[in-house]
Amino acid sequence: MRCPYCQHTESRVLESRSTEAGQSVRRRRECLRCKHRFTTYERIEFVPVTVIKRDGNRESFDRSKLLRGIVRACEKTGIPQRRLEALVDEIEAELQQRFGREVTSNEIGELVLPYLRDESEVAYVRFASVYRQFQGIRDFVETLDHLKSHAELIERAKVSPTVAPEGDERETPASLNQAPQKPYSCAEMNQL
C-alpha cells in the first residue's frame, strides 16, 4: 500500500477492524519510511450488474435507487430502516449470485415483491402498483386476491395432516400410515 505522504510502498498494519456490518475491513497502517499513519479500507469488489429498463436503455444497478423505492412503499408501515437496508442487501446479493450480468428491471421488481409481501401487505400493494403500473381498480383487486390466496396457502401449509378430527383426541392407525403432506415449494407459493 502506497503511503499518501511520501509515496513509499511498504507499510505495516497497526490495527484491523471490521466495519459496515462485515462488508469491509478498516486497517490503520504506518509507513516504514516516514512513520506517518494512515487508514485504508478493504472491500469486496462486486462485478457490476447492468439493468435493462422497460424502454430498452441500460444502466448500472443503483442500490440507492432500489432502497428509495422500497422506503417509499414502506412509509408509515413501522418497518425499521435497518430492516429495509437488509432487504436491499439480500436482493443485491441475489443479483450478484446470478450468472448473467444483465438483469431486467422487471426481474428486480419480481425479486422485491416476495420480500415486501412477508414484511407488509400494504407495502407490497404500494410497490406493485408502481412497479406493475396499475391502470385502475381491477389491478388492485387482482393483487389483493393474489395476497389473499397466498395467505390461505400459508395457513393450509401450517395445518398438520395428522391432526385428529374435532372430538377425537387419538390418532387412528389409518392416519398414522398416511404420507405427510408435501410442503409447498417457493415457486408454488410465488404463483399464488
Query: Which residues form the domain of 138?
Result: 134-160+180-192
Q: Is residue 129 part of a domain?
A: no
Taking CA 68 as the corner, what is the angle to CA 140 and CA 76, rounded to the nearest 5 degrees? 60
The total domain count for the chain is 3
Q: Is residue 63 part of a domain?
A: yes
Most confidently modeled of 17-26, 141-150, 167-176, 183-192? 141-150
Nearest partner of 151 among 109, 192, 110, 122, judged by Cα? 192
Mean pLDDT of the 19-42 span: 88
Q: Is residue 171 part of a domain?
A: no
Going by pLDDT thresholds of 50, 70 and 90, the confidence category of residue 161 is: low
Q: Is residue 118 part of a domain?
A: yes
Q: Is residue 173 part of a domain?
A: no
Say whether both 106 and 57 belong to one domain.
yes
pLDDT top residue among 178 and 100: 100
- pLDDT of amino acid 71: 93
How confident is the model over 74-128, as pLDDT tens digits?
A: 999 899 998 998 898 889 888 888 767 899 998 998 889 889 888 888 888 888 8
Say whether both 105 and 147 belong to one domain.
no
- pTM of the predicted structure, to 2 decimals: 0.55
Going by pLDDT thresholds of 50, 70 and 90, the confidence category of residue 154 is: confident
- Between CA 111 and CA 50 the distance in angstroms is 16
Name the percent of the chain lying above pLDDT 90: 31
